[in-house]
Amino acid sequence: MAEPLNLVFDLDGTLIDSAPQIHAAANIVFGNKGFQPLSQETVRGFVGNGLGVLVSRSMAHLGIEPDAALQCDLMQNFASIYEQAFDMTTLYPGVSTVLATLSEAGHRLAICTNKPLGATRAVLRHFDLSPLFPVVIGGDSLPQSKPDPAPLHAALKALGPGRALFIGDSEVDAETARAAEVPLALYSGGYRKAAAEALGARIIFHDHAALPRLIARLAPAL
């Protein structure tokens, strides 16, 4: 059997499609403060850099003057919804089976996301994925968040020695992989804006079912 790898996954846009849920949460949170609704396309464009950036960009889009107290309140309200609402969040097709296959093959799995840690653990529990991920690094687990390489390095350190691959979907993930000097596998169906071929991935996959085969093919070159 080939040597197991350390496989670190992004979450939103890579394993789950949460944009509709985040959009709904945004309109609840901002609507409760009397602000106009945001379009799903607008909110989707703000996903990936963490909750603080999502809220600050949404405030700017709505013409709200910077206000640290208001932003903190909005973030707390977002986090509360994130940990309870999953009705509009879905796993991408084949994700559960693929993750189980990779784990059964001996690979060590981790999550490295900019989603808050509490919300991340809640969504993993909801989809019965928690047992597959002994290591989970959220956007508030460290002072730094992606694209700083520190969260990815922390995930890999917790997994232990071994060759590594980072699996993500966006420009943020590509920048993180470059900064951490870890090869990237890119899911083409996520939340990126740039062309997939422009992000320097070692693997580009369009269907999660192909991932075990593609990883096995790439592994000797890692």
- Three-state secondary structure call for residue 61: helix
Give the single-character DSSP code of 174: H
Measured between alpha carbons, how far is 3 from 195 in angstroms, rounded to an integer? 32
- Token reading at 28: 């609840």
128: tokens are 């019965």
Q: Tell which residue, 44, 39, 41, 15, has the closest CA to residue 27.
A: 39
Q: How many Å is the maximal CA-CA distance in the chain?
A: 59
Distance CA 195, CA 186 (A): 11
Q: Indicate if 169 belongs to the active site.
A: no
DSSP secondary structure letter of residue 35 = P
Annotated active-site residue in 10, 140, 169, 173: 10
Compute the Cα dihedral for 182, 186, 187, 193 and give only its sign: positive
CB 168, CB 176: distance < 8 Å:
yes
Could you give the 3-state DSSP secondary structure of residue 140?
coil
- Overall size of the chain counted in residues: 222
Catalytic residue positions?
A: 10
